[in-house]
Amino acid sequence: MSYIITVATFISIQAIVAYGLNIIVGYAGQISLGHAAFFGIGAYSAGLLATKAGLSFWAALPLVVAICAVIGIICGLPSLRLKADFLAITTIGINFIVESLFLYVPFFGGALGLGGIPRVVFLGNKLKGGEFLTLCLLFLALVMFLSWWFSRSWMGLACISLREEETAASSMGVSPVKFKLVAFVLGSVIAGIGGALYAHQMRFIAPSDFGFPVSVMLLSLIVLGGMGTFWGPLVGAIILGSLPELARPLMEYRMLIYSLLLLGMIRFQPQGLLGEESVVSRIIGRHVGGDRS
């Protein structure tokens, strides 16, 4: 049972981070392949604030959000000047640089990682197992609400219009600079919150937890679920999060199966499971109808 709770906790943290990425990629249409960097920045700032400054999770959370927002603005600046492929590679670069800073700067614990992160305390009791899962699910619900609200708000609509046709949108008075940055920062902050939860769940973090493969995994997760859809990140996180656990007997072949699955998925169903024109959404559309975006 505790095994299932651990897996569920990971899935919900992954889903939180994926919702952040979905805002950047799905709504604002900026390809980010370095999302794990922000996940890591959140985790490391939460970890350092807890171990070195002795702050509680709740006291550190606003600081984590502020740190991720500031770094998000700095890292978001290239995205204003660069288009599609240039941006994708720059974000890979950001990921590599952030990971190597964690790895080479002794303050961050270096290759040994950062240990001794305490559990989250709420009303005097330490949250673990199912209680911590509940906390993660609450945060997930909050992030999902934020994401839903964003996609309906004028900011979200502005982002979507920029994604669809930047020139036309900016001629209508939608500022590409402002809204791309807003989306990037919001996405980074959400990833940072996920990172803070991750740090307190693992209680030990290492640079490799936030490397480029993690960014790819996060991106494949929202591609699988359906980019720019409301339920996409959640569905993707549940499928990709539980699949490796179900395939454990096939340990040796796990990564191969995983990559073949991703390849097959993106080759034959690039819209994702829930995207427009996908198999699932057609089936749901036939039976339920109505708007599900």
Partner 1 sequence: MYLFAEQLLNGLATGATYALISLGLALVYGVLGVLHVAHAGVYMAGAYIGIGVYSVTGNIWLAIIVSMIVCGFIGVAIERLVYFPLLKYPPYVPLISSIAIFTGMEELVRLVAGPSVQTFSLELPFPSFDLGGIHVSSNLMGIYVITAVVFFILWFITTKTETGLAMRAASQDMPIAGAMGIDSRFMVDFSFFVSSAVAALAGILVGIYYNTVSPDMGAIPAYKALALIVVGGLGSVPGAVVASLSLGVAETLLIGYAGIPLPRDALAFIAMIVVLMWRPQGLLGKRG
Provide the binding-site residues for partner 1, judged by CB under 8 A. 25, 31, 33, 78, 81-82, 84-86, 88-90, 92-94, 96-97, 100, 103-105, 212, 216, 219-220, 223, 252-253, 255-256, 258-260, 262-263, 266-267, 270
* Cβ-based nearer residue to partner 1, 93 or 285: 93
Residue 238: exposed, middle, or buried by beta-carbon count in 10 A (0-12, 13-18, 19+)? middle
Count of residues for the chain?
293
* Cβ-based nearer residue to partner 1, 201 or 215: 215
* Cβ-based nearer residue to partner 1, 117 or 221: 221
In degrees rounded to 5, what are phi and psi of residue 114? -120, 115
- What are the beta bridge partners of residue 114? 205
- How far apart CA 181 and CA 26 sit, in angstroms, is 14
**What's the min distance (Å) between Cβ of 83 and partner 1?**
9
**What's the min distance (Å) between Cβ of 9 and partner 1?**
25
DSSP string, 133-202: HHHHHHHHHHHHHHHHHHHHSHHHHHHHHHHH-HHHHHHTT--HHHHHHHHHHHHHHHHHHHHHHHHHHH
Under 8 Å CB-to-CB from 132, ≥6 apart: which residues? Answer: 9, 119, 120, 200, 201
**What's the min distance (Å) between Cβ of 205 and partner 1?**
19
- How far apart CA 84 and CA 185 sit, in angstroms, is 18
* Cβ-based nearer residue to partner 1, 31 or 157: 31
* Cβ-based nearer residue to partner 1, 84 or 283: 84
**Amino acid at the residue 45:** S
**What's the min distance (Å) between Cβ of 249 and partner 1?**
16
- How far apart CA 200 and CA 132 sit, in angstroms, is 9
* Cβ-based nearer residue to partner 1, 99 or 196: 99
**What's the min distance (Å) between Cβ of 104 and partner 1?**
5
* b/e per residue 92-118 (b: at least 16 CB within 10 A): bbbbeebbebbbeeeebbeeebbeebe
* Cβ-based nearer residue to partner 1, 56 or 100: 100
Computed from CA positions of residues 171, 293, 197, 34, in that sequence, does the dihedral angle turn out positive or negative?
Answer: negative
**What's the min distance (Å) between Cβ of 202 and partner 1?**
24
**What's the min distance (Å) between Cβ of 256 and partner 1?**
4
Computed from CA positions of residues 151, 25, 34, 280, in that sequence, does the dihedral angle turn out positive or negative?
Answer: positive
Tokens of 142: 């909050």
* Cβ-based nearer residue to partner 1, 267 or 286: 267
**What's the min distance (Å) between Cβ of 97 and partner 1?**
5
